[in-house]
Amino acid sequence: MKRLLPLLLLMAWTQAGAEPAFARMYKAEYGYAPSCNACHKDGGGTPLNAYGQEFKDAGMSAGAFAKIAGKDADGDGAANGAEAQARANPGSKGSTPANKGDWLDTASLIPREVQAAFPGVREYLPRDAILTDADIARARTLGATLGKADENTIYVPLQDKRPAGTALIFPAEFKGKLFFLLMVTDRQLKVTQVKPMSSTQVPAAAQSKVYAKFNGIAVDQLPAATGSDLDAAITAAVKKAGTLLYVRLKNA
C-alpha cells in the first residue's frame, strides 16, 4: 500500500476535478474558473476577503453576482463585475482590468503557510475537494458530519511528480467566532502538523496544547470531540478536516 498510495492519490485528484459551488457559479457567470483568491485572503480555506464577504452577504447564490457587480469590494476603482469580466481579481486591489496580475496562475495560488510546511517543494497540485452524497454518508461511518459547506481546497506538494503529502486550511468555531487552522499530512495521510493560522477572533487558540495530540494519527482515526471547551472545538474541526481528506482521497 505504501508504494501504491501516491498513485491512488493522483488518480483520486484527477477524477475529482470538479469545483466548489462558488467556483462553479462564477464560471457560469463569467466564463472561466477563478482561483480561490477571488473570495479568500490567502487561498482556499482562509478567511474571506472583501469580495467573498460581499458575495456571502448577497446570498451566496448565482444571483449574488449581479447584486454586487456594481460595487468595488477591493477599492481599486474598478467595479466587481468589470474586473471579473476582464479576468482580473475583484477581491484584490493589486489586480485590475489594466493589470490583471498572476492571480489565475497555479504557482500563485499556494498559501504561504502551506509552502512553509514543505520547504524545498516548488510544485503543487491544488485540488478542490467536492463532496458527493456517498462521501457524506461515508463520513458518518467515520464519526464526522460533513456537508457541502465543508468543501475545500486540498494542497498537494509534489516531489518528482509524486505526492509528498497534503495540506488543508479549514475553519474552526468557538462561541460563535471563526478561526482557521492548517493540517499537514505525510503521503500516507498521517497527520504531521496541526497549527492555528488566523486566531485573532479567538486569541486563546494560539496557546492551545491540543494540536500536538494529533501528530502521527491517520486522518481516518482522529478522535471525536468531547465537551464544549476550546480544545473540543479544535478537535471537532480537525476531525472534520481529516475525514474530508480521507473520503476524498481514499477509495472505499
| 86-120 per-position pLDDT tens digit | 999 999 999 999 999 988 876 666 888 888 999 98
Q: What is the DSSP letter of 205?
A: G
Residue 149 within a domain: yes
Last residue of a domain, one of 54, 73, 108: 108
Q: Please check whether residues 97 and 167 belong to one and the same domain.
A: no
State how far the Cα of 63 lies from the Cα of 70, in Å rounded to an integer: 13
Q: Please check whether residues 139 and 46 belong to one and the same domain.
A: no
Structural domain count, the chain: 2
Q: Please check whether residues 115 and 240 belong to one and the same domain.
A: yes
State how far the Cα of 18 lies from the Cα of 4, in Å rounded to an integer: 24
Q: Please check whether residues 141 and 176 belong to one and the same domain.
A: yes
Residue 107 has a pLDDT of 64
Q: How confident is the model at residue 192 (pLDDT cuts 50, 70, 90)?
A: very high
**Between 246 and 36, residue with greater pLDDT:** 246
Determine which helix (DSSP H) or strand (DSSP E) holds 169, and give its type and residue range.
strand 166-174
How confident is the prediction for the chain on average, in pLDDT?
87
Q: Please check whether residues 115 and 98 belong to one and the same domain.
A: no
pLDDT at 36 over 90: no
Q: Please check whether residues 92 and 196 belong to one and the same domain.
A: no
Q: Please check whether residues 103 and 117 belong to one and the same domain.
A: no
Angle, to 10 degrees, between the axis of helix 5-15 and the axis of helix 230-249? 90
Answer yes or no: are the C-beta atoms of 162 and 186 closer than 8 Å.
Answer: no
Average pLDDT over residues 185-201: 89
Q: Which of 3-17, 139-153, 198-212, 217-231 has the highest mean pLDDT?
A: 217-231
Q: How many CB atoms lie within 10 A of CB 10?
A: 18
Residue 226 within a domain: yes
Q: Please check whether residues 135 and 196 belong to one and the same domain.
A: yes
Q: Please check whether residues 99 and 63 belong to one and the same domain.
A: yes
Residue 16 within a domain: no
Q: How many CB atoms lie within 10 A of CB 102?
A: 13
| pLDDT tens-digit map of 129-141 | 888 999 999 999 9
Last residue of a domain, one of 108, 132, 151: 108
pLDDT at 47 over 90: no
pLDDT at 243 over 70: yes
Q: Please check whether residues 173 and 235 belong to one and the same domain.
A: yes
pLDDT at 80 over 90: yes
Residue 227 within a domain: yes
Average pLDDT over residues 221-239: 96
Q: Which of 11-15, 50-54, 148-152 has the lowest mean pLDDT?
A: 11-15
Q: Please check whether residues 159 and 56 belong to one and the same domain.
A: no
Residue 167 within a domain: yes
For a pLDDT cut of 70, what percent of the chain falls above it? 87
* Cβ contacts of 224-230, under 8 Å, gap ≥ 24: 224/143, 224/144, 230/174, 230/202, 230/204, 230/205
Last residue of a domain, one of 108, 131, 161: 108
Domain containing 233 equals 5-11+111-249
Q: Please check whether residues 240 and 129 belong to one and the same domain.
A: yes
Residue 154 within a domain: yes
Residue 237 within a domain: yes
Residue 234 within a domain: yes
For a pLDDT cut of 90, what percent of the chain falls above it? 60
Residue 55 has a pLDDT of 94
Q: Which of 142-151, 173-182, 193-202 has the lowest mean pLDDT?
A: 193-202
